[in-house]
Amino acid sequence: MIRIAAFPTRAAPGALLAPLVLAATAFLVSPVPGAAQSLLSASGLGIPVEAPDGRSRMLGSVGVALSGSALLPNDPASAGWSILPGIVVSGQAGGETFQDGGTAYQSRFPFLGIVYPYGRQVYSLSFSGTFSQEWDVEVDRVLELAGEPVGAVDRFEGRGGVSAARFGVARRLAEDRVSVGANIGSHLGSVERRFSRELNLDDVGTEVEPFELEGIWRSAGLTAAAGAHWDVTPLVRLGGSVTWSEDLRLDPTADTEGEVQRVPMPLELRGGLFATLTPGLGLAASIYRADWSETAEALGDTEAPGMVWQWGTGLEWAGTTVLGRQIPLAAGYRSRDLPFSFLGSAARESAFTGGIGIHLADAETTPMARLHVGFEVGTRTAGDLEEDFWRTTFTLRLSGR
């Protein structure tokens, strides 16, 4: 019998599906890991991190072309609307429920950034997640040793993630109706993989020790993004961005056998709009496109969908005030392909979104302190596999003169 189960652990969103992409296909087929088999290839890189701010999550957005100013790693033009220095921090908490009734909970801080206008330029520094996963998978199986059946438990573990540090510059043009921006940075972080096999002691005796194979890889590689916003009218904003990354280089540490791994990264395109429908009511819509074929091929996932799409839309009502403070409310929906497969089936994710914001402090018409809290309730599916998830994202932005 083969049983796959996830265990409660601090895990990134989507942490169940990501390791199963190749862990299930590679290890379930082979009785033992082959000498040329890479634990990194068998586990993949994890789930790409989406827009790391609460307002984007509220509106189901891919994180581009929202009204006002923001600091987003894949929408560098959003910083160009900033008129005051500020700091931005985002945090997340959530959980997942699996088909076997198991539950996993997680928390993390996916974004930290600083924005500083000087002259007509706006400079920024940011640190954000790119891929993230922390997971445990266990497989019960029966092996044949010396012609006799032997029970075994295989355990797969993954820890860590890939992040990026970026420096950006943005500027307003055309009588402040256009903002353009670009950033450049480097991938950071590490990925740890561990495989262990424990044989049933009743079948083999107490002298047989568990088999373990583990490794740690450090990530590196340049990444850059460029984009623009255009306020077509005072009521409509259009925007788009492109994100490029060189091959993600994964260097094994001194205790890890193997050569440097190079994983191609896709060219990512994002576009969106924000339209004011009535005073206080706004509509956000956005789309994402990237070809992950080469990435999947490098990781051995031959059944991955290749071209990945994401879209989302939401409504924001900014006409509510409490004790003189503006309280934006939002609701939306989003759907996206995931860039991997599960036993030959494409993986998808969809969620209903919503949230609330508050302007904690204002200087005349300029927000000095803003808090947005986004909520998501959704489902991930891949073939017969289905898991439910919920996630809360908060973003606090503090500005000063």
Helices (H), ranges, 189-237: 201-204
Inside any domain, residue 392: yes
User: Can you give the pTM of this predicted structure?
Assistant: 0.82
Tens digits of residue pLDDT in 224-247: 999 999 999 999 999 999 999 999
Of 69-78, 95-104, 194-203, which one has max mean pLDDT? 69-78
Which pLDDT does position 44 carry in this prediction? 58
- What is the rounded distance in angstroms from the CA atom of residue 145 to the CA atom of residue 284? 60
Chain length of the chain: 401
Q: How many CB atoms lie within 10 A of CB 279?
A: 7
Supply the DSSP symbol for 79: G
Domain count, the chain: 1
Inside any domain, residue 97: yes
- What is the rounded distance in angstroms from the CA atom of residue 4 to the CA atom of residue 177? 54
Q: Is it the case that residue 353 has pLDDT exceeding 80?
A: yes
- What is the rounded distance in angstroms from the CA atom of residue 181 to the CA atom of residue 172? 9
Burial of 401 by CB count in 10 Å (0-12 exposed, 13-18 middle, 19+ buried)?
Answer: exposed
- CATH code where residue 357 lies: 2.40.160.60
CB 300 within 8 A of CB 41: yes
Range of the domain at 55: 46-129+164-184+216-399
Name residue 153's beta-bridge partners. Answer: 140, 198
Inside any domain, residue 144: no
CB 245 within 8 A of CB 265: yes
Q: Is it the case that residue 380 has pLDDT exceeding 60?
A: yes
Inside any domain, residue 53: yes
Only one residue has tokens 């355990």, namely 155
Q: Is it the case that residue 154 has pLDDT exceeding 90?
A: no
Structure tokens given for 325: 């403070």
CB 356 within 8 A of CB 371: no
CA dihedral 134, 73, 267, 188 (to 10 degrees): -50
Inside any domain, residue 368: yes
The amino acid sitting at 169 is V
Tens digits of residue pLDDT in 170-186: 999 999 999 999 999 99
Which pLDDT does position 24 carry in this prediction? 37
Mean pLDDT value across the chain: 84
Inside any domain, residue 257: yes
Q: Is it the case that residue 16 has pLDDT exceeding 80?
A: no
For the chain, how far is it from start to end, CA to CA, in angstroms?
Answer: 65
Inside any domain, residue 67: yes
- What is the rounded distance in angstroms from the CA atom of residue 363 to the CA atom of residue 401? 10
Inside any domain, residue 152: no
- The mean pLDDT of 360-370, rounded to a whole number, is 79
Q: Which range (21-35, 337-351, 371-385) has the least confidence?
A: 21-35
